[in-house]
Amino acid sequence: MTPEQRQRIIEILLSGGEVAPEWSRILFPPEKREYELVYHGKEREEDIIANTLAVPLQPVRTFNKNGVEWHNKLIFGDNLQAMKTLLEMKRRGELCNADGTPGVRLVYIDPPFATMQEFHGSEDQKAYQDKVVGSRFVEFLRKRLVLIRELLSDDGAIYVHLDWKKVHYLKVIMDEVFGENHFRNEIVWHYPGREMHISNKYNAKHDTLLFYARSTATRIRMDQVAIPYDREERLKSLRRKVHVDESGSEWVWETRGQAAGQEAYKRYVDEIVEQGRALNDVWSDLQFLRGNHPERTGYPTQKPSELLERIIKGSSSEGDIVLDAFAGSGTTCAAAETLGRRWIGIDCGKLAIYTIQKRLLNLKAGIGNKGAPLKAKPFTLYNAGLYDFARLKDLPWNDWRRFALTLFGCQDEPQRIGGIQFDGTLKACPVQVFDHRCQGGATISEDTLRSVHEAVGSKIGTRMFIIAPSLAFDFQQDYIQGTSINPQNMLCLQHANQPI
């Protein structure tokens, strides 16, 4: 801190003024880095993880049941909160790949591009808004990248799909979150299209994918993504004498080793052709989806399955978990299903959820919606953050109690104080989950709180919390401070320990 900054802080404090948030990074500097992207509203990674609420996953419906241990997951809700829940599942050993490795093997996200637009489906249904811009957009994605890093397996990989407007900011952010030494590729997806004559810039005909590894253990399965050779073109490109053995098989001399000590060996042309050409970081062989493409779902900004096929094959194996936190049209989910991977898709848009359900239930065996029908493995649709109380109220008491505690981030710590049963704690204060089914639909009233206060007295410290459906309440706001939280028909009451 400079002398001028120190003096300014003193002046603000002496005058009773408020210290602006921008001073936090001066007063409490983060870990020193060689460089970082600094902007308004940037939070510490520790605070992002700690302060993100893990919301319960409420099963809505399971499709194609067959009794398997793992069900793929389609989650309707905010992806930040949903990923915090998945992170807790990972910590409990409930989020594993088929080989037992904890965590997600591959993440692909195609987030909003900060275009300041609203996107609609083919029948003008509202799909999503892309109106978060500036530093808010950067921090919006950074928070999710921090959770994704924690979700990845030790040898996992992430691909972030962006365009020219914000990719350079996110490159710096991803260097911070994943480590610059774990940056693997800037992949350019070049797609041809209608040429336009623009006087102030060149035609933009590519998207960018930033590929980062979770650790040095991350590998690309290069043999799975090699580009097949055309046999005749490959023969011409060899530019050397092709020999034929007694069986009619064609072969050429290849060399290996250092220039000073190269060793010649015999290699068959069929083997060379089958191996294919190693994939580079410019992908110009994958077409953008046109309006009449058989794969089109009607969802805007849909990406082709061939793009996801390449990513999934290159960075995962059969039985690995693939996560798409901005699932959109469901291309990642569909490609992962077709390729025998486990998958998790998250989206906060109703059109996206409906589109993905329909797509998975009408899947074809081939990439690009080709081939014979393919029955998808079991997948469950979950609500995360917005719940159907009609379903919740029918839960058994233990399930309802656990759901309520999780929803508000409480610790499950049953205890009795003054003869009153409490179910957990929140910020070291006791929490009681109100049984809305008892006594024929009894409500929480002023008398209820008075009796609790008389029983526990000063034993609970300064405050206590009561969690219950808002429909179960009949109270005076003079005595209770309430805060609504999603879902809107849930209420957490904070009751100060003072005489009523």
pLDDT higher than 60, residue 491: no
Q: Are 55 and 85 in contact (CB under 8 A)?
A: yes
Residues 6+ apart with CB under 8 A from 443: 472, 473, 474
Ramachandran sector of residue 491 (left: φ over 0; alpha: ψ -120 to 50; beta: rest): beta
Q: Are 103 and 215 in contact (CB under 8 A)?
A: no
Name the residue with higher pLDDT: 149 or 497: 149
Q: Give φ, ψ of 448 to 5 degrees.
A: -60, -50
Q: Other CB atoms closer than 10 Å to residue 88's CB: what's the count?
A: 13
Reported as a pLDDT band with limits 50, 70 and 90, residue 69 is: confident
- pLDDT per residue as tens digits for the range 219-254: 999 888 888 777 676 666 665 778 888 888 888 888
pLDDT higher than 60, residue 138: yes
Average confidence (pLDDT) over 20-49: 80
pLDDT at 475: 37
- pLDDT per residue as tens digits for the range 436-465: 766 555 666 667 767 777 777 666 665 778
Average confidence (pLDDT) over 291-300: 84
Nearest Cα residue to 166 out of 115, 201, 225: 115
pLDDT at 259: 66
pLDDT at 272: 75
pLDDT at 444: 67
pLDDT at 469: 66
Reported as a pLDDT band with limits 50, 70 and 90, residue 497 is: very low
Q: What is the mean pLDDT of the chain?
A: 83
pLDDT higher than 50, residue 15: yes
- pLDDT per residue as tens digits for the range 309-368: 999 999 999 999 999 999 999 999 999 999 999 999 999 999 999 999 999 999 999 998
pLDDT higher than 60, residue 494: no
How is domain 51-224+278-384 classified at the CATH fold level? Rossmann fold (3.40.50)
pLDDT at 149: 97
Name the residue with higher pLDDT: 270 or 333: 333
pLDDT at 266: 85
To the nearest whole percent, how much of the chain has pLDDT over 70? 82
Q: Residue 341, exposed/middle/buried by CB under 10 A (0-12, 13-18, 19+)? A: buried
* SS3 (DSSP) at 398: helix
- Minimum mean pLDDT among 5-19, 182-196, 295-309: which range? 5-19
Average confidence (pLDDT) over 79-91: 95
What residues does each domain of the chain span?
Answer: 3-30, 51-224+278-384, 231-274, 396-496
Reported as a pLDDT band with limits 50, 70 and 90, residue 120 is: low
Average confidence (pLDDT) over 44-54: 90
Q: What is the pTM for the complete model shown? A: 0.77
pLDDT at 95: 96
Name the residue with higher pLDDT: 48 or 271: 48
pLDDT at 129: 67
The DSSP-derived string for 263-284 is: EEEEEEHHHHHHH-BPP-SEE-
pLDDT at 193: 73
pLDDT at 142: 96
Q: Other CB atoms closer than 10 Å to residue 320's CB: what's the count?
A: 23
pLDDT higher than 60, residue 108: yes
Exposure string over 188-225, b if 16+ CB within 10 A, otherwise e: ebebeeeeeeeeeeeeeeebbbbbbbbeeebebeeebb
pLDDT at 30: 65
In Å, how far are 78, 177, 222, 328 from 321, measured between CA atoms?
A: 20, 21, 19, 18
Sheet of 411-417: strand order equals 411-417, 420-426, 429-433, 463-469, 490-496, 481-485
pLDDT at 443: 64
pLDDT at 488: 34
Amino acid code (one letter) for 202:
Y
